[in-house]
Amino acid sequence: MSPVIDNLDLYWSGFLTSLEFIVYSLIGSMILGTVIAAFRVSPIAALRGFGSAYVTVVRNCPLTIVLFFMAFGLPELGINRSYFFFGIAGLVIYTSAFVCEALRSGINSVSAGQAEAARAIGLTFTQTMREVVLPQAFRSAIPPLGSVQIAMFKNSAVAGAFGIGGDLFSVGKNLTSAQGYSYIPVLTGVAIGYLIITLSAGLALGLLERKVAIAR
Amino acid sequence: MSDQSVLYDVPGPRAVRRQRIGTAAALVLIAGLVAVAIQRLASRGQFDSDLWSPWVNPSDDSFAQVWELVGRGALNTILAAAMAITLSLLVGVVLGVARMMSGRMGRIPVVGFIELFRGLPVVITIVFVWRAMAELDVPIDVLPGEPALWYLVIGLTLYNSVIVAEILRAGVASLPRGQGEAGRAIGMTEGQVMRSILLPQAFRTMLPALISQLVVVLKDTSLAAVIGLGYFELLRRGNQISQVLDNPIQSLFIVGAIFVVINYGLSRLAVYVERRMSTSSYSDPSPEVGEVTLGAQAHGGAGGV
Amino acid sequence: MRIKKLGAAAAALVLAGSLAACGGGDDEVEVASETDFEAGTTMAEIADRGTVTVGTKFDQPGFGLLGLEDVPEGFDVEVAKIIAGAMGIAEEDIEWVQATSDIREQVIEDGDVDFVVATYTINDERKQRITFAGPYYEAGQQLMVASDNDSIEGPEDIADNPDMKVCSVTGSTPSEQIREYLADDDQLVLFDIYDKCADALSNGQVDIVTTDNVILLGFVSKSEGEFKLVGEQFTEEPYGIGITKGDVEFCEFINETLAENEDAYLAAWDRTAGEVEGTEKPELPEADACA
């Protein structure tokens, strides 16, 4: 385990970078996922179609290819940003499709009477969504949303494999290939870093579920 | 609940007009963005025929080679995925049953194993299996086929078997309690109840979730290309071709499209199976299984989602 | 000593003999029709087996690049064929294994390959795990930039332009050696293959690509004027052939084979890396003593 102990500062900075990455992706995917979910239930057919196509394509495409198109496709469109940004963009786009589906299952679980009542008192579609349906949908959607986001935490490792630089996986890559340390101790350190993130997120999710979620 | 008709009134003439304007505006916006993208790509030469020709023009010299390589890559992907899902099913059922049936003490190592491999990104598991087995000189050669395939399959299995175990748990939990109680009432042991009554029914509920998990596994096989494991699956072949022909955007676009088509087909199969089963089964179409599926799908595919 | 020398010399003689006999083709590597190696040597074992497993790069243009026919092509590949030919192994009987930078020592130690020709820079650290034959080529690291970039003339300019990004391949010697010229580590972007660095330079994500100048020239010539090399080569990297540690006989055999087949060596260069404009034909360097 000496490679880990000797390089604890590297592991720590990798851990923090991974956290940074995760937080941005969490916020971004929730926002984008909500937008796409709204598209999918909106009365405007073009938006419904776009949302549906988006989810179908993104869900069935491997994250590796999504990240590639972020890192090498966006610059072809004239968008030049850091690879950190592209990594987050890839993760946000990928995860948002699953967030959308989790929200839709939440929306579907809101009983019809709620929306009917909202209509009965004259609320428009947007008002119905915003004031009545979405708040309840979110609470129902917390369990699947939680597992989608924890999955995203794990997927951040793939972005690291792509040249994000600085996150936990890159630290592992750096220590083993560039500096030639043996794999087992280095990867164990990386694994522990990720486990800290996912296991604590799992516990937090469990607490959140108990406090907020509606029994179905 | 069919949300379309509940979330908003059947549109009257003003609403229809508003919706039509909205549709037109949305279409114009989308078309505009697409046009800008196409124009920029064209100015970078991404629509040049020599970049696309080996993929779409049968009279191109490289056409046959390119599609042959990609075909072999796709077969390798499917092979690895099939092996991984089969092993995951076997190991997952053992794990799931062990978890459900063990006493408090026996449960600890099983739960520990499950939480460990659920919490780790798949990509880390695969790299770890690969490098650790190489470093420890594990005799992987006794198994038929290339070592790289086995490293990938074992890594995928470690992750997906725990997911299968959780799907199984959710499936058994969704069965009516009366099933198990009846079994015990007629004197069956726990093991017999599990084997003869609960598992067979749970499997039927699990089937769509398992097919969805296959989609996840298929996407995850592309991780081999990202970590440098020398297994020539579809993404690796795409990279190989793009290096020779200098057309990464085009090659990976086609490879991505192939992935989407295969996975979409499998997802439709899952939906079909679910529909056929829900007309015949009498257990709750349980929200728990659906939730595990969504979480698992989000988990799977490149690092576990 | 004399017997071993006889083995290698005999092989060379037979090679020359077969060359004289068939008049030698320019794109065929000569294969010894009869070989006579001292029993127990690696060469004898390989010759008896009739096949050889070679580790090479699969994604290094000019040296080892996997083509559409699923066989690697390049200068390293040709050098390997010359060595295999001297043991009587034809190129169809060579099994090619991908030897990426981080597993080169491991595949030799594990015996997965017989030797490695993979842009393998000789250094003392690696000598602790394996033995090097050669060097067979002296590489030099250099910088490649966009044609309209006038701020970078050499590695010293990198630190003066801290907003510029430098691209190289993970774990490669050039990526390590460029670090001392960087203003800070954020300037370095690492990918798994050079192709991605070239793409990143083309789409504006990075400003400089650094690796061996022959590989860079390959990209320059494909870029149709978009890229250029700047400055002079600023490192010297001898490429060697990796073999099992301590196999002195095999090492000497390889060195002698290359020395006796300088024509084939130069012809190999011409058909691979030499096709790229701007490259200089190398001279076969003098081999180090085998240890």
Question: Does C92 lie in the same domain as C68?
Answer: yes
Whether residues C193 and C162 share a domain: the answer is yes
SS3 state at A164:
coil
Look up tokens 């099913």; give the residue.
B89
pLDDT for C27? 60
pLDDT at res. B115 = 92
Instruction: Tell me which of C230, C261, C283 is where a domain ends.
Output: C230
Q: Is the pLDDT of residue C3 over 60?
A: no
Cβ neighbours, 10 Å, residue C71: 13
C66 touches chain B (CB under 8 A): yes
In chain B, pLDDT over 70 holds for what percent of residues? 88
Chain B residue numbers with beta carbons less than 8 Å from the beta carbon of A60 are 215, 219, 259-260, 262-264, 267
Q: How many CA atoms lie within 13 A of C163 on its CB side?
A: 3
In a domain, C10, yes or no: no
Same domain assignment for residues C171 and C45: no
Residue B305 has pLDDT above 50, yes or no: no
Residue C210 domain-assigned? yes
In a domain, C283, yes or no: no
Q: What is the pLDDT of residue B302?
A: 29
Set out the domains of chain B in order of their start, with CATH numbers.
Answer: 56-277 (1.10.3720.10)
Whether the pLDDT of residue C128 is over 90: the answer is: no
Whether C109 and C126 map to the same domain: the answer is yes
- Cβ–Cβ contact B191 with A under 8 A: no
Q: What kind and span of H or E run contains B226?
A: helix B223-227
Instruction: Give the lowest-confidence range in A140-144, B34-38, C252-256.
Output: A140-144
Label each residue of chain C as H, E or C: CHHHHHHHHHHHHHHHHHHHHHCCCCCCCCCCCCCCCCCCCHHHHHHHHCCEEEEECCEECCCEEECCCCCEECHHHHHHHHHHHHCCCCHHHEEEEECCHHHHHHHHHCCCCCEEEEEEECCHHHHCCEEEEEEEEEECEEEEEECCCCCCCCCHHHHHCCCCCEEEECCCHHHHHHHHHCCCHHHEEEECCHHHHHHHHHCCCCCEEEEEHHHHHHHHHHCCCCEEEECCCCCCEEEEEEEECCCHHHHHHHHHHHHHCHHHHHHHHHHCHHHCCCCCCCCCCCCCCCC
The predicted-structure confidence for C194-211, as pLDDT tens digits, reads as follows: 889 999 999 999 999 999
* Burial call C43-58: b when 16+ CB within 10 Å, e when fewer: bbebbeeeebbbbbbb
Per-chain mean pLDDT for chain A: 88
Confidence of residue A137 (pLDDT cuts 50, 70, 90): confident
Mutate to test the interface with B, among C57, C59, C68 (most CBs of B within 10 A): C68
At C226, which CATH number? 3.40.190.10
pLDDT of residue A112: 82
pLDDT recorded at residue A127: 85
Q: Please say if the pLDDT value at position C289 is more than 70.
A: yes
pLDDT of residue B304: 35
Check residue B85 and give its pLDDT. 94
Same domain, C98 and C118: yes
Residue B302 CA to residue A207 CA, distance in Å, equals 28
pLDDT, average across residues A31-59: 91
Q: Long-range contacts made by residues B273-278, C-beta under 8 angstroms, separation at least 24?
A: B273/B207, B273/B208, B273/B211, B274/B207, B274/B208, B277/B204, B277/B205, B277/B207, B277/B208
Quote the pLDDT of residue C6. 46
- Over residues B14-27, the pLDDT tens digits come to 878 888 898 899 89
Q: What is the mean pLDDT of residues C256-263?
A: 90
The pLDDT score that the predictor gives to residue C244 is: 92
- Closest listed residue to residue A213, CA positions, set A131, A109, A115, A120: A109
Instruction: Please answer whether residues C98 and C55 qualify as being in contact, where contact means their C-beta atoms are separated by less than 8 angstroms.
Output: yes
Query: Which A residues, 175 through 204, put their C-beta within 8 Å of a C-beta on chain B?
Result: 176, 182-184, 187, 190-191, 194-195, 198-199, 202
Cβ contacts of B305 on chain A, cutoff 8 Å: 63, 94-95, 98, 148, 151-152, 154-155
**Cβ partners under 8 Å of residue C232, min gap 6:** C142, C154
Mean pLDDT of chain C: 84
Q: Tell me the average pLDDT across A155-177.
A: 82
* Mean pLDDT of all residues in B230-254: 92
Confidence of residue C16 (pLDDT cuts 50, 70, 90): very low
DSSP A215: P
The pLDDT-based confidence of B8 (bands split at 50, 70, 90) is: low
Residue B58 pLDDT? 87
Chains that contact C by 3+ CB pairs under 8 Å?
Answer: A, B
pTM, two decimals, is 0.87
Give the nearest partner residue to A198 out of B11, B119, B262, using CB atoms. Answer: B119
Mean pLDDT over residues B81-100, rounded? 92
What is the pLDDT at residue A54?
A: 96
Instruction: Report if residue C6 sits inside a domain.
Output: no
For the cut 80, the answer to whether the pLDDT of residue A1 exceeds it is: no
Chains in contact with A via at least 3 Cβ–Cβ pairs below 8 Å: B, C
Q: What is the mean pLDDT of chain B?
A: 85
Reported as a single tens digit per residue, the pLDDT across B118-165 is 999 999 999 999 988 888 878 877 888 888 999 999 999 999 999 999
The torsion angles phi and psi of A149, rounded to 5 degrees, stand at -70, -35
Q: Report whether pLDDT(A155) > 70.
A: yes
Number of A/C CB contacts below 8 angstroms equals 36
pLDDT at B11 over 80: no
Q: What number is the average pLDDT over the span C30-39?
A: 78
Domain membership flag for residue C9? no
Confidence of residue B101 (pLDDT cuts 50, 70, 90): confident
Its ipTM equals 0.89
* pLDDT of B280: 59
**d(Cα A113, Cα A105) in Å, to the nearest integer?**
17
Is residue C1 scored above 50 in pLDDT? no
d(CA C120, CA B229): 20
- Same domain for C125 and C33, yes or no, is yes
Look at residue B298 and tell me whether its pLDDT is greater than 70. no
pLDDT, residue C83, reads: 92
Residues C90 and C102 in one domain: yes
Q: What is the mean pLDDT of residues A96-102?
A: 94
What distance in Å separates the CA atoms of residue B101 and residue B99, rounded to the nearest whole number? 6
Nearest CA in chain C to B243: C195
- Determine the pLDDT at residue C197: 92
How many structural domains compose chain C?
2
Domain membership of residue C132 (yes or no) is yes
Could you give the dihedral angle defined by the CA atoms of residues A108, A111, A115 and A120, in that order, rounded to the nearest 10 degrees?
160
Query: Residue C245: what residue type?
Result: K
CA-closest candidate to residue C188, choices C164, C204, C212:
C164
Instruction: Give residue B146's pLDDT.
Output: 87
Tokens of A43: 């009365």
At which residue do the structure tokens 């309690």 appear?
Answer: B177
C191 domain residue, yes or no: yes
Helix (DSSP H) and strand (DSSP E) numbers for chain A: 10, 0
For residues C57 and C145, membership in a common domain is answered with: no
Model confidence at B261, pLDDT cuts 50, 70, 90, reads very high
CA dist A104 and C226 (Å) reads 48
Distance from C-alpha of B46 to C-alpha of C198, rounded to nearest angstrom: 15
What does the alpha-carbon distance between residue C145 and residue C154 come to, in Å, rounded to a whole number? 10
Kindly state the tokens that stand for A83. Answer: 């690879």
What pLDDT does residue B303 have?
A: 30
Q: Both C67 and C100 in a single domain?
A: yes
Q: Which residues of B touch C70 (CB under 8 A)?
A: 69
Q: Same structural domain for residues C247 and C200?
A: no
Does one domain contain both C125 and C155?
A: no
Q: Which residues of B touch C68 (CB under 8 A)?
A: 62, 65-66, 69, 240-241, 244-245
Q: Which residues contact A193 (CB under 8 A, 6 or more apart)?
A: A11, A14, A15, A18, A168
| Contact between chains at A178 and C196 (C-beta distance less than 8 A) | no
Domain limits for position C57: 29-138+238-275
Which C residues 47-106 touch A at CB under 8 Å?
101-102
Structure tokens at C134: 């050669």
If asked whether residues C218 and C264 sit together in one domain, one would say no
Q: What is the mean pLDDT of residues B215-239?
A: 92
